[in-house]
Amino acid sequence: MDSEEVYWNNFMVLFIDRMVRSMRKDISDKIADLEISGPQAPYVLSLYIKDYQSMASLSNFLEMDRANTSRVIRSLELKGLVVSERRTGSSRNVPVMLTSYGRKVAEKLFERVVDINKSFFEGIPEMDVVRFKNTVIRVFRNIYGIDGGADSESFYKELGVESVLSPRSLTTCGTSSRKLGNL
């Protein structure tokens, strides 16, 4: 058996985990002055991309526990970043939206995340970046059993982007550069 194959098969998940942890730490460090924690950032970014979502929708999209989503949204409300139409009873379908202050913070957050993500690909040819992103999408589909059919596109349609990137779409991404920063 090829030793390189054994090495990659045994350690690929560890490498990906290390990479993700390092990316999260880098993002958390570089957004600290915005008074948003690393765990809060995905919620703010999700609302920036598609405002006025229910807590259930946010939980599903981010694959987060609904109780955790409720706690994070409450902490963002206390910071004046979001408002929700909470009532007594179930909070699953409570709409959540950014405040005007939250939108300003989200714009700064988004710009920083775009810059940070660009730095991760610094020095890598554009075609390699496109291939990497396409590969990640294919791996995602394999992990979640998505066959690439029409129903599998909802993940990407939620964001308003194409599901597979091409060199041309790297600069257009099927949406405005303001929204996804040509990622």
Q: What is the band of 160 on the pLDDT scale with cuts at 50, 70, 90?
A: very low
pTM over 0.85: no
Pair 89, 32 in one domain: yes
Pair 75, 149 in one domain: no
Pair 53, 101 in one domain: yes
Question: What are the Cα distances from residue 73, in Å, to 28, 47, 53?
Answer: 18, 11, 12
Pair 142, 165 in one domain: yes
Q: What is the span of the domain harbouring residue 153? A: 121-183
Classify residue 150 by its DSSP letter: G
Residue 96, Ramachandran bin (φ over 0: left; ψ between -120 and 50: alpha; else beta): beta
The pLDDT assigned to 63 comes to 85
